[in-house]
Amino acid sequence: MKLFIDSANVEQIKKINNDYPVDGVTTNPSLIAKENRSLFPLIKEIRNIIGETKLLFVQTISVDSESIVNEALRIWEILNRNVIIKIPVTVEGIRAIGILKKHGVKTLATTVYTPMNAYIAAKAGADFVAPYVNRIENLNGNGTQVIKEIRQIFSNTKFSSEIISASFKNVQQIKAVSLSGSDGITVNPQLIEKFLEIPSIKEDVQQFNLDWETVRDEVDSN
């Protein structure tokens, strides 16, 4: 299962990319806006940090399909065709995904709330779909169940689109989708760091070191 950093902050991306086995970075307009920087210099800096082989996702903000396609093609060319374009699953977005498929542009359908959102996006040609787990749960939905159903539909229909689950507020949600057939997860840096934040690990390591200290001289001299 792939792991992405859900952030546009270069310091956070540098740290997590260095410390953890991540597959790339997902951004969205809200994350970019927080950085208060121009889009392309920021995105290029993120590309430099993660290198050429990891995946980088950039979202369009246009509303009608023609503008979405033009915006996507611009991002695609400026990033040397090494970027995946995120497009919300509006009617216009779905049309744009279909057109971009014919141009050979890779897309991720975002703001996915239901299995049928994912179905229609995959059928239009999206390479990835991003169900919004926490936002689904804020609407009293069951994020994990949505992932399971998307997985089932993709298996039944033999779609090759990958499910990149997104929008998490806790590690329990992440574990639940990981057990439910998600191909990948995109997680904010603070939550990624929580994966290893178990006090017992630190205590165990301290105890191992203490125990080792008591015999080290003896072992070293043999």
Q: Is 82 near ligand E4P (CB under 6 A)?
A: no
Q: Is 34 a catalytic residue?
A: no
Residue at token pair 């999206």: 126
Shortest CB 134 distance to ligand E4P, Å: 5
- Looking at residue 80, the DSSP 8-state letter turns out to be T
Among 6, 92, 149, 162, binds ligand E4P (CB under 6 A): 6
Among 119, 181, 186, 189, binds ligand E4P (CB under 6 A): 186
Cα 134 to chain centroid distance, Å, stands at: 14
- 86, 102, 123, 158: the active-site residue: 86
Binding mask 14-43 for ligand E4P (x = CB under 6 A): ------------x-x---------------
Q: Is 130 near ligand E4P (CB under 6 A)?
A: yes
**First CA to last CA across the chain, in angstroms?**
45
The one-letter amino acid code at 104 reads G
Q: Is 138 near ligand E4P (CB under 6 A)?
A: no
Q: Dihedral sign, CA of 215, 217, 218, 222?
A: positive
DSSP 209-222: HHHHHHHHHHHHH-
Nearer residue to ligand E4P within complex by CB, 65 or 188: 188
Q: Is 134 near ligand E4P (CB under 6 A)?
A: yes
Q: Phi then psi for 70, rounded to 5 degrees?
A: -65, -40
* Active-site amino acid positions: 86
